[in-house]
Amino acid sequence: MTAVDVARIRDDFPILDQLINGKPLVYLDNAATTQKPRPVIDAISNYYLHNNSNVHRGVHTLSQRATDDYEAGREAIRRFINAPDASEIIYVRGTTEGLNLVASSYGRKFFKAGDEVIITGMEHHSNIVPWQILGKEIGIRLRVIPFNDQGELLMDEYEGMLNDRTRLVSVVHQSNALGTINPVSAIVELAHARGVPVMLDTAQSVPHMPIDVQDLGVDFATFSGHKMYGPTGIGVLWGRADLLNEMPPYQTGGEMIRSVTFEETIYNVLPHKFEAGTPDIAGAIGLGAAVEYLEAIGMGRIAAYEQALMRYGAERLAEIEGVRLIGTAANRGGVLSFYMEAAHAHDIGTILDAEGIAVRTGHHCAQPVMARYEIPATVRASLSFYNTTEEIDALIKGIDRVIEVFG
């Protein structure tokens, strides 16, 4: 587990070095949002201190600098996910907006009554609700791939669902509630055999493993900057250029047009067609810095380190009577989601907070997952490369404290 130099890395995250309720902060809420390293904070400050200006429209020096840095962020992201072309990288607010963009634009243009969209039973609400809305508006039908008790998709059921009415498969890569890493290549192969495109929610995978959109073979992918050590308010939708070119704009106004008269508007080319209005310039620059930070550590090393930490945590949790790990798929990422009959998740979270430990409690915006296990909520410890085995031990001690209190 030493391939990642955690002690040195933690120096880049000043926020981690503090006491919470008199105890050293143990931040295990990385699936909700990650902390930001100094280079990301510096890139944002540098923009506001030295280069603040609007992008694309100015001939003056500050605007040129801002535009160069904003576009350098796009190129860094292209490289990071191995997209064929930077014009396919659309800046959005985050995964939620990426999914809504595809539902609104692609869905409204290409779906008709009776068509079907396939999702999984472990989607975040942001990959359920946009399709439901289209269901009400257009009359499409949502099909849901079930999963077994371990949290693994039933691929035979999926295969049986694909038919001539299927227009899109939109699935999560790594579940935020269970940690399951879904078999994307197999999902894509079956969908493409029927000419059906695949959209991938990579909110929880892009920050934790190497992602190559061409290798995965997907047609759309979306992720959030704030879950990958970048700022909030910025994220990415990547799509194949031929699909994006066919799609109507999602929002309209400045920047997304080539020319406007009162009679007619001609849209701008990619990526601008989908970036109406002044974008989150500082956010894009910060996200570019986050990508470079991750590349310097190495995504392969990050994945290996977090896997080892997760396995250690799962083993330690399994030793505690009364703790039930939810999500035990053979292929899973750094998520330890658990349930205790003895205490409500929120009470566990409060006791852990008193020990300085930050975890998430609740349904994790995946209520159907909770329904599947017939539980109201879980406690979720989600890991980053800056976490340590000592922090997992602190979590285990915190749970011992819960057992002391609740018996």
Near ligand PMP by CB under 6 A: residue from 35, 166, 170, 204: 204
Instruction: State yes or no: is 365 an active-site residue.
Output: yes
Residue placing its CB nearer to ligand PMP in the complex, 143 or 380: 380
Question: Residue 324 corresponds to which tokens in the numbers above?
Answer: 């039930």
What is the contact mask toward ligand PMP in residues 55 to 94, using x (rule: CB under 6 A)? ---------------------------------------x
CB of 335 to ligand PMP, least distance (A): 10
Contacting ligand PMP within 29-48 (CB under 6 A): 31
Contacting ligand PMP within 356-385 (CB under 6 A): 365
**Do the Cβ atoms of 351 and 379 come closer than 8 Å?**
no
Of 32, 320, 354, 365, catalytic: 365
Near ligand PMP by CB under 6 A: residue from 118, 203, 317, 394: 203
Near ligand PMP by CB under 6 A: residue from 30, 34, 67, 96: 96
Q: Which residues pair with 332 in a beta bridge?
A: 180
Near ligand PMP by CB under 6 A: residue from 126, 166, 268, 328: 126
Interaction of residue 328 with ligand PMP, rule CB under 6 A: no
Interaction of residue 176 with ligand PMP, rule CB under 6 A: yes
Near ligand PMP by CB under 6 A: residue from 36, 56, 74, 124: 124
Size of the site for ligand PMP (CB under 6 A): 13
CB of 211 to ligand PMP, least distance (A): 14
Q: Which residues pair with 224 in a beta bridge?
A: 235
Near ligand PMP by CB under 6 A: residue from 34, 224, 337, 382: 224
**Do the Cβ atoms of 223 and 243 come closer than 8 Å?**
no
CB of 287 to ligand PMP, least distance (A): 12
Which are the catalytic amino acids?
365
